Structure 1
Amino acid sequence: MTINLADYGLTPNFKQAASTFNNQQLARITAQHRNLYQIMTTNGEQAATLSGKFMYENIESTRFPAVGDWVMVTMTTDNAVINQVLPRQSVLARETVGNRSDGQLIAANIDTIFICMSLNADFNVRRIERYLTMAWDSNAMPVIVLTKADLCEDLPAKLAALATVSLGVTIITCSAKTGAGYDDVAQYVTTGKTVAFVGSSGVGKSTLINRLMGSDVLATKTIRADDDKGRHATTSRQLLLLPQGGLVIDTPGMRELQLYTGDVDRTFADIAELATQCKFSNCTHQGEPGCAVQAALQSGKLAADRLESYRKLQRELAYDGLNAREREHEKINRMFGSKNSMKQVVRQAKAKNRRR
């Protein structure tokens, strides 16, 4: 049976990019197990490995394929060999745990990112800010999904707490017991669209996906009643085709999310707007005269813990005190090593296409 890759999210842009490679097949990464991959081709799903040339030419981990990537492969007797990762339309990445200089790709080519958080002791406004900073930078659309609503006795208060940190973001409240909210989530999962669920362990990501799939395809773990801490259910990333159309990527729970790149100004749009009103363009908001941020803090318009969260994430991303152009330059350094390295990658790609 021939597989229609449009069902797996193939767009005209990816199709055009693939057309520049001769004698290779287009495929999408559906699962990853360390250096082994599962891919979907027009002939179905099969195992794949990276070519020796690819591993030699790509040292940085962020250049390696991730679940959701479109790749060019050659077929062998036993499996497929991945030769090239096509340019991504979006990428979700975090800092490698225990390593402050290397990024870890979570998923690629996502249309919507569902940031899941349960409405019990797991609820944490500062964590939502952290996830939004990562999500806004990915080039995908974030949606906040609050799970376990049946366990929440102060929903209005929690929604009010999120109001100032979720500007421009839809919030969906769900309950596995009552089924509330699932139809709202399903509206984002349509034919050819890819969504990803991220969040801490035990918040209900697998339960949501099972509901979308119409069967218990993923193991689920409940949050322990004695301490409200979740247990890991998903151990690897995988892309699943839903019966009604659309694709979903499940990810392992992340108790600690270390940022690799992020859009701090988008997450903290209120502070970014205030900063434009400061007397000095390079204001650090720590005592300069005419500081609009400090004025908002003193008047109660801006909460002290939100400003501290903003500063913390800026420091973590090494963006503190940088303007927009400098922040973009810093992102390029983290992804490519330098701007010259990025230009070299672009030149090599263009030269290779011309030779073909």
Structure 2
Amino acid sequence: MNIEDYGWDGYFEKEWKKKHKEGMLPARIISDYGQFLRVVCEKGEGLVKRPVQKAYDEINLAVGDWVAVDDLSEDQRSICFVLPRKTKFSRAAAGYEVKEQIVAANVDVVFLIQSLNRDFNMRRLERYLIAAWESGAMPVVVLSKADCCDDLPQKLAEVYETAPGVDVHAISCVTGEGIDDIKKYISKGKTAALLGSSGVGKSTLTNLLAGAELLKTSEVREKDSRGRHTTTHRELILLPQGGLIMDTPGMRTLLLWEADTGMEMMFGDVEELTKKCRFYDCRHENEPGCAVKEALESGSLENTKWEAWVKLQKEQEYLEAKKQGKLRQREKKWAKQIASIKTDSY
């Protein structure tokens, strides 16, 4: 087993030399089954238990991570430590708990997939692009089911306007249109992740690239163009022609975990406008000298883009407040633990 085929390169080799000890092997997580993870190393594939997470110890492993495992028999291996990531596509986990969910780690390219039917949504695409830019990986927009679209030029124009400077490809897994263009992004040692909603054709595209029915697929309902969650867990697949593809479950919502770089890339013109207002605390409502209001009135700034920026800003402010609340809870618990240790020492 050659781990270079699975993405091992000079970056990870350098990090490995800093921390590894004799009796350890580098391994990459290729599947996540909850309590168990499937890893691949130079001695083959095997299952390892997910390390037990102690209170407030952030062990947030994900498919694509490189880890150190014991050089023991398959049923005795365990994870010793995690290597620093090159890239990380993540989101805020659904539910009440303030937690980061890592969707894909150490990927080089993220294919942001939208189908050319009812899933076609520019506001959703904006979120994916922001998260992709934040991850450090290269985003590529893939518009699937081109064979079912009657107004492709118009929809392509919308995407180019929403994602300036980003490669965009319309494909069809039925006719094969655009598939060769997608293959150009995947080469030996490179990892690509497929991200998008349910029913956009991620598993179908994976099977097509792999040249085999590796993943289950399901039909999209005709009446509303919606699909089911065919993929139930993340999986990293080594392609016959070289390179790796990561299929992921469809995401109903994408709540941004971090967005500073992504927001600057997507809404840099809007953020520059907010800095030109006469008052530094301008609310962009009825204040005199508001550059945003002037741009909206002149038409140089579209209402839809402004509203999208405002909504995302509010989401980030709310999430940041929740993060700070969780941090304060941790600090209080740490203080109690320290006080308890001091008391016990006397």
TM-score range, shorter chain: 0.7 to 0.9
Indicate whether 1:157 and 2:151 are aligned: no
1:295 maps to 294
The aligned counterpart of 1:118 is 115
Query: What letter matches 1:21 in structure 2?
Result: H
Indicate whether 1:240 and 2:240 are aligned.
no
3-state SS, counterpart of residue 56 of structure 1: coil
1:73 aligns with 2:73: no
RMSD: 2.3
What is residue 39 of structure 2 aligned with on the other side? 39
Paired amino acid for 1:265: E
> Quick one: distance in 2 between partners of 1:85 and 1:162?
37
User: 1:112 corresponds to which letter in structure 2?
Assistant: V
SS of residue in 1 equivalent to 2:78: strand
Match of 2:14 in 1: 16
Matches within 5 A, 1:1-356: 3-19=1-17, 20-23=19-22, 24-52=24-52, 55-56=53-54, 59-60=57-58, 63-77=59-73, 78-99=75-96, 101-262=98-259, 263-318=262-317, 337=327
> Against the structure 1 CA distance between its residues 298 and 198, is the aligned structure 2 distance closer, same or farther, given a 3 Å change threshold?
same
**Cα distance in 2 between the residues matched to 1:71 and 1:148:** 37
User: Which amino acid in the other structure matches residue 46 of structure 2?
Assistant: Q
TM-score, normalised by the number of residues in structure 2: 0.87
Shift of 1:100: 5.3
Tell me by how many angstroms 1:337 deviates. 4.8
Do 1:219 and 1:233's aligned partners in 2 also have CA atoms closer than 8 Å?
yes
Q: Secondary structure at the match of 1:264?
A: helix
Letter in structure 1 aligned against 2:292 = V
Residues 319/188 of structure 1: CA separation in 2 closer, same or farther (3 Å cut)? farther
Alpha-carbon offset, residue 37 of structure 1 = 0.3
Q: Please tell me whether the aligned partners of residues 50 and 83 of structure 1 are also in contact (alpha carbons under 8 angstroms).
A: no
Residue 244 of structure 1: CA displacement?
0.7
Tell me, which stretches of 5 or more residues in structure 2 are unaligned?
Answer: 332-346
Query: Contact 1:91–1:139 at 8 Å: present in 2 too?
Result: yes
CA contact (8 A) 2:110 2:132 kept: yes
User: Alignment length, in residue pairs?
Assistant: 323
Task: Output the amino acid matched with 1:153.
Answer: D
Q: Distance in 2 between matches of 1:282 and 1:181?
A: 48
Q: Distance in 1 between matches of 2:280 and 2:143?
A: 38
Structure 2 vs 1, CA of residues 51 and 319 (structure 1 numbering), >3 Å: closer, same or farther? closer
Distance 2:267 2:278 in 1: 20
5+ long unaligned stretches in structure 1:
321-329, 342-356
Task: Using the TM superposition, give the Cα deviation of residue 184 of structure 1 relative to its aligned residue in structure 2, in angstroms.
Answer: 1.1
Q: Which residue of 1 aligns with 2:341?
A: none
After superposing the two structures, state which structure 1 stretch, 104-113 or 14-23, moved more: 14-23
Tell me if the contact between 1:48 and 1:82 (Cα under 8 Å) persists in the aligned partners.
Answer: yes
Contact residue 114 and residue 144 of structure 2 kept, 8 A: yes
Q: 1:327 matched to which residue of 2?
A: none
2:338 is matched with none
SS in 2 for 1:67: coil
Indicate how the Cα distance of structure 1 residues 170 and 277 shifts in structure 2: closer, same or farther if over 3 A, else same. Answer: farther
> Which structure has the bigger radius of gyration?
2
**Cα deviations by residue, 1:287-319 (Å, 9 ceiling, x for unpaired):** 433333222211112221211111111111128
Change in 2 beyond 3 A, CA 1:175/1:72: same
C-alpha contact (below 8 Å) 1:46/1:79 kept by paired residues:
no
Is this contact kept in 2: 1:165–1:268, CA < 8 A? no
Deviations 1:205-257 (A, max 9, x none): 11111111011111112211111111111100010111111111110011222
Query: Displaced runs of 4+ in structure 1, greater than 6 A?
Result: none
CA contact (8 A) 2:34 2:50 kept: no
Following superposition, the deviation at residue 50 of structure 1 comes to: 3.5
Query: Could you tell me which amino acid in structure 2 is paired with residue 304 of structure 1?
Result: N
